Amino acid sequence: MKMVLIGAPAAGKGTQAARLVKHYGIAHISTGDMLREEVAKGTELGNEAKSIMAVGGLVSDELIIAIVKERIKKDDCKKGFILDGFPRTVVQAEKLKEMVELDKVVYINAPDDVMLQRLTARQTCPKCGATYNKLFLPSKTEDICDVCGEKLTQRKDDTAEAGQKRLDTFHEQSEPLVGFYTKEGILFEVDGTQDIDEITKEIIKGLDA
Ligand code: AMP
């Protein structure tokens, strides 16, 4: 299973990817997570990406394509993978097509106002990576990770301002991917405003069809 999850920020890509990798036993490749790791480590790549990410822009196609190209060669991708956050431009999609043959692309769709509201309520555990949302997936104890007890943090780009910019960037640069993959005949769409379990069920049904 080689698949891509497309969706605006806070559409639920990361949440669904975490469930799907368990279900199918495949690798989760989140370009956003990979970039955040580089930023945290203070590498040259991280320093280059940091300011772009902070304002909700996209890092260069060239850079991100090189990262993904190396990542999908790793052993854990042999059984398949879910790409979460890549491709984000048609140029990236064209390059990916040269690298692998995808089975399916899932588009998680939801209106901007819903995503903006969700985005500012998101929380992440800096230690184990678990994700929460104060609106519909709160931790049992406020601001504390259920899994490991660490204090939860908010992503720097999950502010109303950067969030709006990321939504605009999605519409301008990433939404054309819906047309691209529809033409390829491998895209199906799910309604991202549904309950999390419902979305997972619908995606698995679509992937297994
Ligand atoms: P995400 O965690 O997927 O929301 O990604 C966080 C940020 O990382 C984005 O707002 C971009 O600045 C950057 N990023 C992640 N994936 C890509 C990509 N495929 N192309 C360009 N920039 C990306």
Catalytic residue among 13, 36, 104, 118: 13
Whole-number pLDDT of residue 33: 92
Q: What is the pLDDT of residues 168-195, one digit of tens each?
A: 999 999 999 999 999 999 999 999 999 9
Instruction: Decide if 122 is catalytic.
Output: yes
Distance (Å) from CA 47 to ligand 1 centroid: 14
Catalytic residue among 50, 69, 97, 155: 155
Whole-number pLDDT of residue 148: 96
Percentage of the residues of the chain whose pLDDT score is greater than 70:
100
Residues in the chain, pLDDT under 70: none
Q: For residue 16, give the nearest of 150, 202, 142 by alpha carbon.
A: 202
Whole-number pLDDT of residue 177: 98
pTM: 0.93
What sign does the CA torsion over 94, 202, 108, 84 have?
negative
Protein residues with CB under 6 Å of any ligand 1 atom: 9, 31-32, 35, 52-53, 56-59, 64, 85-88, 92, 157, 166
Phi, psi of 158 (to 5 degrees): -95, 35
Q: For residue 3, give the nearest of 21, 69, 36, 65 by alpha carbon.
A: 21
